A and B are shown apart, each in its own frame.
Chain A
């Protein structure tokens, strides 16, 4: 029903009233470079993850904090979906809720049409912290662990683990313990561990935030390469506009605390040398303006 050049299928409908409310703020809908959008989206597939008017709250000892207010979005198979927002907008909270660690006080999350009730191996997460690897297992052991715990045979898990580790360039480090790896290598191992499980959704919570700038850039390109090879569904949380534009195929822009949907934008995917081009800066500027208004003119 939709032309190939039209907006992705998920946008045509499926938004609740509350979502439309937030859209009153003149939400820009720019569609660029559909050619790089995943095939699944264009072929009218059903959303993999759906958020319906989700309000998330958490408790501190003194307060009940509303992290996000009536947030709705759809994530389609094969998308690189980036959740972007200033710190404190509840983007990590959204990810934790998709993972099943947090129950929405209003609205719901569904995965493949089924409501999310708790954490499970169909939605694996790569965290920002380096201590997500089990220190008592080798790199290979770490990657095999979730598969073994979920009934994959030893031989199969080892084969898949070695494959995934080779993909993230850790093929020579399989027998090493995590404490001997650098930060970037630890994150690669965590990505391999998640990839090897072949989850429906791979979630990343600012996985490169604690890395140095050079390593981060390298890891971003590796992630894109990996996505090109396997075409998994990625949900990526970041507070860096550049990172969102580089990595995302679709970007959900959240307003500051409490997080509400400000916009959903497409990113055409910028190759390394296109990142100094005008189109890249235009998109960055646009998002920057959405988030910070006049004050955030420069990024």
Chain B
């Protein structure tokens, strides 16, 4: 076969070898990009410019429609926000909201840890978790609020109950999925090092499943935040002092739309800070550095 291949070759070409130039003689091998291009390559710069653009559109539209009752201008809203912060009303409301939120979030995570531990260690636990998640995950947690009010009355416990419900299933589902997706090789490697039981879970399974766990934490956070504001909007005051949702509700009743916007902005700002600063920092320090996410 190779003989025929040689016969069919059309012609023989000359062979050659060459010396390559040393890099120094080529001249410019590496050059810094222009400053504008480098700025535009920064995430922060691009994101802030989007925010500025949105603010400009908002201001223009509000001035054009000239109806402060329905759509206050960006500057009015900022003024209202600033005075709300200076007077201490918004921070106080924020503290109430955050305290409730963190309690619910922590409780939800603890319960999720229990369910996932059960699920990774026994087959029954797996079935239990998957059945419960498929039942409760599609159910908007806020739909449980009427029931919670009946059980726990008007107050923090009801809100915490719905927050736990919104966090628990999302986090448990993600964490469990992450644990089952850990590669067989990594598991075996861990076992050959003599790791068993609790040490195996904390030193091999959890870090290996961390990308999924972190995304579960993020989803759980977003669910909890949404559910909480919604719950506060429904019945507002708990034990005499309302949270951000109540602040929004209250100001709508007073037809102080700029303050309603200020309340909404606070909700968004907290969301942005947690997502963009806290979770992002964790992400950069862990899964990005480990090359588990790009």
Question: Which residues of chain A have a CB within 8 Å of any CB of chain B?
Answer: 96, 99, 101, 119-121, 123-125, 127, 129, 131-132, 134-136, 145-146, 149-150, 177-180
CA distance A179 to B204 in the complex (A): 17
Q: Are A149 and B291 in contact (CB under 8 A)?
A: no
Most A Cβ at <10 Å: residue of B189, B192, B203: B192
Give the number of residues in B that approach A within 8 Å (Cβ atoms). 21
Please tell me if B251 contacts chain A, counting CB pairs below 8 Å.
Answer: no
Asked whether B210 lies within 8 Å of A132 as measured between CB atoms, the reply is no
| Distance from B287 Cβ to chain A, minimum over Cβ atoms (Å) | 8
Q: Is the CB of A134 within 8 A of B188?
A: no
Q: What are the residues of chain A within 8 A of B8 when measuring CB–CB?
A: none
A132-B186, A136-B290 given. 19 additional CB < 8 A pairs? A96-B188, A101-B191, A119-B188, A121-B193, A121-B194, A123-B192, A125-B192, A127-B189, A132-B185, A132-B189, A134-B186, A134-B189, A135-B208, A136-B207, A146-B193, A149-B203, A178-B291, A179-B290, A179-B291
Question: How far is it, in angstroms, between the C-alpha of A121 and the C-alpha of B203 when the chains are bound?
Answer: 16
Contact between B194 and A124, CB atoms less than 8 A apart: no
Which residues of B, 172-219, contact A by the 8 Å Cβ criterion?
183, 185-186, 188-189, 191-195, 199, 203-204, 207-208, 210
Q: How distant is the Cα of A150 from the Cα of B193 in the complex, in angstroms?
A: 8
The 5 lowest CB-CB distance pairs between A and B, nearest first, are A179-B291, A146-B193, A119-B191, A129-B185, A135-B290
8 contacts between A and B (CB under 8 A): A96-B188, A119-B191, A125-B189, A134-B186, A134-B207, A149-B194, A149-B203, A177-B290
Which residues of chain A come closer than 8 Å to B186, judged between CB atoms? 131-132, 134
Cross-chain contact B188 with A99 (CB below 8 angstroms): yes
Q: A135-B292, A177-B290 are in contact. Are A150 and B194 (CB under 8 A)?
A: yes
Bound-complex Cα distance A158 to B210 (A): 26
User: How many angstroms from the CA of A195 to the CA of B183 in the assembled complex?
Assistant: 23
Q: Say if the beta carbon of B238 comes within 8 Å of chain A.
A: no
Min CB–CB distance B186 → chain A (angstroms)? 6
Q: Evaluate contact between A180 and B192: CB separation under 8 angstroms.
A: no
Residues of chain A contacted by B291 (CB below 8 angstroms): 135, 177-180
- Asked if B13 is at the interface (CB within 8 A of a chain A CB), the reply is no
Does B286 reach chain A (CB closer than 8 Å)?
yes
Complex interface: chain A residues within 8 A of B208 (CB) = 134-136
Nearest Cβ distance between residue B77 and chain A, in whole angstroms?
A: 44
- The docked-state distance in angstroms from the alpha carbon of A99 to that of B291 is 29
CB of B188 within 8 A of CB of A127, answer yes
- Give the CA-CA distance A108 to B185 in the complex, in Å: 24
Q: How far is the CB of B258 from chain A (nearest CB, A)?
A: 48
How close is A19's CB to chain B, nearest CB, in angstroms? Answer: 28
Closest to B289 in A: A177
Task: Collect the chain B residues with CB atoms within 8 Å of residue A180's CB.
Answer: 291
**A101 cross-chain contacts in B, Cβ below 8 A:** 188, 191
Query: A132 to B189, alpha carbons, bound, how many Å?
Result: 6
With contacts A99-B188, A135-B292 taken as known, whether A129 is within 8 angstroms of B183 at the C-beta atoms is yes
| B179, chain A: closest CB distance, angstroms | 15
Q: Assess the A125–B286 pair: CB atoms within 8 A.
A: no
Asked if B192 contacts A119 (CB within 8 A), the reply is: yes
Complex partner residue of B210 from A136, A145, A177, A179, CB under 8 angstroms: A136
Cα–Cα, bound, A136→B203 (Å)? 10
List CB contacts (< 8 Å) of B46-69 with chain A: none
Q: With A127-B185, A129-B183, A134-B186 as given contacts, are A120 and B192 in contact (CB-CB < 8 Å)?
A: yes
